[in-house]
Amino acid sequence: MATVEITAANFQETIEKQDIVLLDFWAEWCAPCRVFAPVYEKASEKHKDVTFGKIDTEVQQDLAGAANIQAIPTLMVFRDGVLLFREAGALPPAALEELVTQAKALDMEQVKAEIAAHAHEHDHEHGPGCDHEH
């Protein structure tokens, strides 16, 4: 699968897919983004079972703001709607390959159970009587 353009209109639908989604926040003027683009494109051709989305931060400024993008390129990885990875900077090919491999290998039932357990632990008011770390 080649890369796909992600906009505010299809962002939520894309990240909630029951599979792996990588998102590359980029801009035309960004030199590291231009270096990373062919690496990302090549990975998208190799991993046809993964969605590789590209978000042009100049065109999708509201979306970039909502995602709190501070530097570009920023790469996010979602699986089954869960954000697994978020980092600014252009990854070399081997690192991107390892990231995809790790995302594919995750036991998402375990990940979701850990998220639910963590949410349950913090399902209370925080204030002067709160005696645990966050």
Give catalytic residues, as residue numbers.
30, 33
- The full length of the chain comes to 134
Amino acid at 79: R
Q: How far apart are CA 99 and CA 71, in angstroms?
A: 20
Residue with token string 């703001």? 65
Residue with token string 């906009």? 7
Cα 58 → chain centroid: 18
Q: How far apart are CA 31 and CA 37, in angstroms?
A: 10
Strand intervals (E) in the chain = 4-5, 20-26, 51-56, 74-79, 82-88
Q: How far apart are CA 3 and CA 23, in angstroms?
A: 9
